[in-house]
Structure 1
Amino acid sequence: MTFEAAFSFFIIVFIFGVTPGPGVFAIIARALSTGGRSCWLLAFGMVVSDILYLIAACFGLAVIAQEWGEVFLLIRVVGAAYLAYLGWKMWTAPVSSSALDGPTGSRGAVLAFIQGFTISASNPKVILFYIAFLPTFLDVQRLSGGDILLVSVLTLISLMMGLMLIATLAASARTFFETPRKARLLNKGAGSIMLGAAGFLLLKSS
């Protein structure tokens, strides 16, 4: 892969990562509720799932998006239900508490990672996206382990940059919600975003 191809790949993945969808909505809602730093493991879970799809695409496994349609449907339903639960928690959260307060420490980190992984894994179209444009940058008939490692690292950096940029921008809006009334609006707004993400995830065409 040439430098020009690698740079173009990086930019396209970045744009793909910040395109509105369930993952972006979840990042925004969490950043509004608990700040940008709390989104790191959530975003990392999404990115790990994306990279697994990317690797599958490199090996020409697009067929799984069709042959395992029922499995992906189940994952999508479970993911949507979880997002709806989080949305309800945020909507009903007391003003004095963070909308996404939950287990802290290692348990909280694992749950955040699993949440992000589930959100991304529930969208089998990700693998189709990678298959659609990978041939533009790589000779897919002569892929080496180094090529796959390179595109995986580029994807990791690009997606994390995009998602954390969104988290930072969303978190900056928290300063406008310091009074109890505004904090209540923040909780309900973040909850609405998460519920919207759940509906988007559940109702999107397979």
Structure 2
Amino acid sequence: MTVESAFSFFIAVLIFGITPGPGVFAIMARALMHGATSCLPMALGMIVSDILYLIAACLGLATIATHWSELFTVIRIIGAAYLLYLGYKMWTAPVSSDEFNASKSQKGSVAANFLQGFLISASNPKVILFYIAFLPTFMDLSVLSSGDIALASVLTLVGLLIGLMAIAVFADKARGFFRSPRAMKGLNRSAGSIMAGAGAYLALRH
């Protein structure tokens, strides 16, 4: 991989990472509820899933997608159902100050948040299409070395981490405006709507 193609790929991944979709909406919703730091495991789960798709694309993801389309469909449905469930939980979260502060501390385990991020990315058709359709425009897959694949994986890790955590920090800053019980109720419902919308997007997208 040339320096020019590596740089172009990094910029493309960065832009891809901040493009509105289920992953971005989930990060926003979590940051609004629990702060930017809590989004790191979820972001890493998404990134690991993306890197696996990247490696699969280098090894022939189009063929895999053709023969395992049913598996992708099952993963997508599971991911969508989980997001809808989380949206419901956020929508019905407590709104009094004491209960709200308690709910902020109940962020879930790191493993659960990582798995949530992994499922969101693994079940998102946009991720699959990106690596099938756009990866060959940045590199010749027929002559890729293991070093090229490793470099592309590192660039994906850095680019997506910057993009996703930037969104988390932005959403976290917005959290400071939600102090009154009425505002906190609006925050809960906004975050829940965002998360449920991400689930509906996955459920309806093919």
Quote the residue 1:119 is aligned against: 120
Q: Deviation digits for residues 129-168 of structure 1, max 9, x if unmatched?
A: 2232223332222111100000000000000100000000
Q: Match for residue 139 of structure 2? A: 138
Question: TM-score, normalized by length of structure 1?
Answer: 0.93
Aligned-CA RMSD value: 1.5
**8 Å CA contact 2:83, 2:198 repeated in 1:** yes
Query: What is the deviation of 1:196?
Result: 0.6
Letter in 1 for 2:18: V
Which stretch shows the higher mean deviation, 158-167 or 89-98?
Answer: 89-98
Q: Which segment drifts farther, 127-136 or 1-10?
A: 127-136
The aligned residue for residue 49 of structure 1 is 49
Structure 2 CA distance for partners of 1:58 and 1:41, relative to 1, 3 Å? same
What does 1:1-206 correspond to in 2, within 5 Å? 1-95=1-95, 96-97=99-100, 102=106, 104=108, 108-204=109-205, 206=206
Aligned residues: 202
Tell me the distance in 1 between the aligned counterparts of 2:104 and 2:42: 12
Equivalent position amino acid for 1:92 in 2: T
Give 1:83 deviation, angstroms: 0.6
TM-score normalised by L of structure 2: 0.93
CA positional deviation for 1:90 = 0.5
Give ranges in structure 1 of 5+ residues lacking alignment: none
Contact 1:41–1:116 (8 Å) recurs in 2: yes
Kept after mapping to 2: 8 A contact 1:91/1:192:
yes
Matched AA of 2:35? G
Could you list the structure 1 runs, at least 4 aligned residues long, displaced by more than 6 angstroms after superposition. Answer: none
Gaps of 5+ in 2: none
Q: Distance in 1 between matches of 2:201 and 2:51?
A: 22
| Matching residue's letter, 1:154 | L
- Does the 8 A contact of 1:93 with 1:187 survive in 2? yes
- Identity between Structure 1 and Structure 2 (%): 63
**Matches of 1:79 and 1:17, distance apart in 2:** 18
Looking at structure 1, the residues matched to 142 and 7 of structure 2 have their Cα atoms a distance apart, in angstroms, of 21
**Contact 2:38/2:107 (8 A) holds in 1:** no
The letter for the 2-side match of 1:91 is W
- Distance in 2 between the 1:133 and 1:184 partners? 41
| Aligned residue type for 2:143 | R
